[in-house]
Chains A and B, each alone.
Chain A
Amino acid sequence: MSERHTAVCELKQTDFHEIGNLIDLYFKGKQGCLIQVLHTAQGLYGYLPLELQQYIADKLEMPLSEVSGVVTFYSFFSVHPRGEHTIRVCLGTACYVRGGKKIIDHLIQKLGVQVGGTTADRKYTFEIARCIGACGLAPALMIDDVVYRQMSPSKIDALLANLNKG
């Protein structure tokens, strides 16, 4: 799963045969496959620009407006290029009362982007999440698929330093 996030950065290609092949192989003609296709496509290309949505719409023979309707409905689909890593700070009730807001403020300052933004070097995309089900570890955040517990500004600095090294 995490290798998906490394295959990112700006999508310049207009050749989408990879997802095209997958659609032909697994999805074509199956009712309700759109979300899976979009999920797979975002995994392959990192995000879902209009051109890619058009390609998928044509391939699945459905209206583009319906495809983009689904893409814009779910917050996990992105139409903008994303960072190499996605940081999601939990702002569920437990994390919120245990200082989730402070974590957010610190990250905004540290990364220099607002919530929902991607750093200029395309290293990080910064989002908030509703409860990730780790209330006992509050305040928690996720970097890609890994949950980090009981965060504080200093722990974040250490985490980011570690990631920047790697």
Chain B
Amino acid sequence: MLHLTINGKPIEVPEGTTILEAARMNSIDIPSLCYLKDTNVVGSCRICVVEVKGAKTLQAACVTQVTEGMEIYTNSRIVRESRKVLYELILSDHDKDCLFCKRNQQCELQKLGVQLGVERSRFDDERSTRRVDASVSITRDLSKCILCRRCVSVCNQTQQTGVLNLQNRGFKTEVSPAMGLPLGAVNCTFCGQCTVVCPVGALRETSATERVWSALNDPTKRTVVQIAPAVRVAIGEEFGLAAGTRCTGKLASALKELGFDDVFDTNWAADLTIMEEGTEFLGRVKDALQGNPASLPMITSCSPGWIKYVEHHYPKHLEHLSSCKSPHTMMGAMVKSYYAQTLDIDPKDMFVVSVMPCTAKKFEIDRPEMRNSGLRNVDAVLTTRELAEMIHSAGIDFVSLKDSVFHNPLGFSTGAADIFGTTGGVMEAALRTVFELITGRTLPFANLHVESLVGLDQIKEAAIRIEDPLPQYGFLQGVEVRVAVTSGLAGAKLLMDQIRDGTSPYHFIEIMGCPGGCITGGGQPRSSDEQIRAKRMQALYDEDESKTIRKSHENPLVVKIYQEYLETPNGHRSHELLHTRYTARGMHNELTDEVFMVDVPQRAFAKAPLAQSLPRDIAFKRMDAQESSRLMALEAENAMLRGELAETQDTVAVFKRIIQERSAQQQP
């Protein structure tokens, strides 16, 4: 333990603690900007500077470790003034068009300015890079970037994709893909984790709200909306509810109030996915056991960021991916075929919107593979944040909405579908169904949870031995099925390297692109709660346990759709509508011509006029006033001196006269 004082208050902290952590542990807040616990600790913005007794300069609290006897001042005059100047310097190269910025009122830079009490911006002149680069998923606005490097850390360390890095030097420095290439043309997976950590409006999802509003206002369109499992346990945060509040019923009501004709649940399609994916897995295992060529392990394909990652990084191993589309595109395909047929309307007149916790889903619907009969499966993807924005904008009082239920036939779901939104959930849902299909018995785990697959560890694994299967699955007797689960692309790399090297011990792997799974996806509300993953995850497991039907194959509406329309899982119609193929892209997109850029109007940047702000004018006037009083004082002094000079001259004249008279007397 080390002993030190902060602002005179004696405290005790373990060795290796930084000044910032030590202060926050003791309820002293040091303002910070670039710092992001466990993710970005680089001291680049310097806002957290503090005075350390004996040190020559101010120290950045986030990167300076405490030492024994340290005397720290976090709020002295020099610290306060320095922070303000630092803030003004950051502002000098930042677009200050806050009023129409997407992050207005939710901007960390804006909040910091209020906290620091900054009242002016003196350094508005030359500006560095000012360009907007929009991909189908993510928009980068370099005129707003403050070079805090959070996105760089998340892209290089957390996700290990290394798409964003600092380019150029000095004033020309920018955060960009290699050589300033557009995001849509490089190996970006569109996971969107950078949009979650960006403190300002520089990185954000490419907005789809205008297109959705147009569809809602178009009487010829039948608007269909669906929401992903992870959205319902996170959207409440955008309306001031506690993290992990379950808002399923309110969401259904809000979407109806927004004017959607059909409010469906992606969960229904998640149950459908389990039927398709489970059957596909059993088929592959059967092939492998009978000596036919089969690609094992099979890997889940619900996460489009993960899919794009593997297409770039492991283009030779795409056969391991399940051929299932992700649940929301399955839903889209079913809406524009089965449901359109039920209603007897032309699928061209339908507009399917998916509300997703994900930025990569925006890219997914743009893939040429995600079309049937020439129509997109899904027409627009809104992130959780965008939907919250629309609900706010429509004047709906979300918190006081009454609960309602989703429309059917595509709205009922089981508990297995809820946990699709968290890491380990897809695997658990699949095991619940596959085990029961094979053995006729319920999965032998307490509360149906596969304990070792629950939680936030990077790689989780489980093994299940099949005993006494049903007669038609006799070939599985005694087989031990080994499964693994990971979330985040760093973990995905570990498992894919095993597959590449032929050492993977698993049969079935679940991979989600974002650390924690969809609950902390790139489109989810930004949160400063360190327990956010655990809270949202718990909410999904609660949602699961609150349902009476908790196994996908028991969903009566899924059973019905197979009877009425699809016939059998992995059957001919399923293959056409619910399955897909993948595109080898290569690390530098060298294997494909596909790019995912969109044109955006580049804002006209007028050269900022030199600041002639009010405070400065006042300062000048004050200076003038001071100047004139000084002049008057000088003039008075001058007059006085002139008087003295005249007196002296008189005296000298008198002396001269006396000397002349004396000398005249001595020379008679």
Q: Does A pair with B?
A: yes
- Interface residue? B77 (CB, 8 A): no
Instruction: Check: A142 CB closer than 8 A to any chain B CB.
Output: no
Q: Is the CB of B169 within 8 A of A65?
A: no
Q: Please tell me if B164 contacts chain A, counting CB pairs below 8 Å.
A: yes
Interface-located stretch among B97-105, B155-163, B421-429, B506-514: B155-163
A54 to B163, CA, bound (A): 13
Q: Establish whether residues B177 and A65, one from each chain, have CB atoms under 8 Å apart when the complex forms.
A: yes
Query: Does A42 touch B at the CB level, under 8 Å?
Result: no
Selected from B163, B169, B179, the residue in CB contact (under 8 A) with A73 is B169
- Distance between Cα atoms of A54 and B177 in the complex (Å): 12
Interface residues of A in 35-77 (CB under 8 A from B): 50, 53-54, 57-58, 62-69, 72-75
Identify the closest chain A residue to B176 (Cβ).
A65
Instruction: Determine whether the beta carbon of B178 is less than 8 Å from that of A62.
Output: no
**Considering the complex of A and B, which 4 residue pairs feature the smallest CB-CB distances, nearest first?**
A63-B162, A65-B165, A68-B178, A64-B178
Contact between A66 and B179 (Cβ–Cβ < 8 Å)? no
- Which residues on the B side are within 8 Å of A63 (C-beta)? 156, 161-163, 165, 178
Selected from A50, A73, A75, the residue in CB contact (under 8 A) with B178 is: A50
The answer to whether A54 and B167 touch (CB under 8 A), given A63-B162, A68-B179, is no
Could you jot down 6 A-B contacts, CB within 8 Å? A63-B162, A63-B163, A63-B165, A64-B178, A65-B162, A72-B167
Q: Which residues of B contact A (CB under 8 A)?
A: 156, 161-169, 176-179, 186, 587-588
A69 in contact with B587 given A53-B178, A63-B161, A79-B179 (CB within 8 Å) = no
A58 and B163 CA atoms in complex are apart in Å by 14
Contacts of A50 in B (CB 8 A): 178-179
B178, A67: Cβ atoms closer than 8 Å? yes
Can you name 12 extra interface pairs (CB under 8 A) apart from A58-B587, A63-B165?
A57-B587, A63-B162, A63-B178, A65-B163, A65-B167, A65-B186, A68-B165, A72-B168, A72-B179, A73-B169, A74-B169, A79-B179
Q: How far is the CB of A47 from chain B (nearest CB, A)?
A: 13
Which residue of A53, A58, A69, A79 contacts B165 across the interface (Cβ within 8 Å)? Answer: A69
Chain B residues with CB under 8 Å of A67's CB are 178
Check A66/B168 contact, CB under 8 A, given A50-B179, A58-B587, A72-B179: no
Question: B167, A66: Cβ atoms under 8 Å?
Answer: no
- Rounded to whole angstroms, the CA-CA distance of A63 and B168 in the bound complex is 16
Q: Which of A53, A54, A57, A73 contacts B168 (CB 8 A)?
A: A73
Closest to A67 in B: B178
Contact of B169 with A72 in the complex, beta carbons under 8 Å: yes
Rounded to whole Å, the gap between the CB of A155 and the closest CB of chain B is 33
Provide the bound-state CA to CA distance between A53 and B178, in Å.
Answer: 9
B587 (CB) vs chain A CBs: closest residue: A58
B42 to chain A, nearest CB (A): 15
Q: B169, B176, B179, B186 — which one has the most chain A CB atoms within 10 A of its CB?
A: B179
Residues of A within 8 Å of B161, CB to CB, are 63
Are A69 and B166 in contact, with the CB atoms below 8 A? yes
Of chain A, the residue at the smallest CB distance from B156 is: A63
Question: Separation in Å of the A60 CB from the closest CB of chain B?
Answer: 12
CB distance from B286 to the nearest CB of A (A): 38
Interface members, chain A 112-130 (any B CB < 8 Å): none
In the bound complex, CA of A79 to CA of B587 (Å)? 20
Closest to B169 in A: A73
Q: Quick one: closest B residue to A74, CB to CB?
A: B169
- Residues in B with CB closer than 8 Å to A79 are 179
Chain B residues within 8 Å of A53, by CB: 178-179
The answer for the CA separation of A149 and B588 in the assembled complex, in Å, is 47
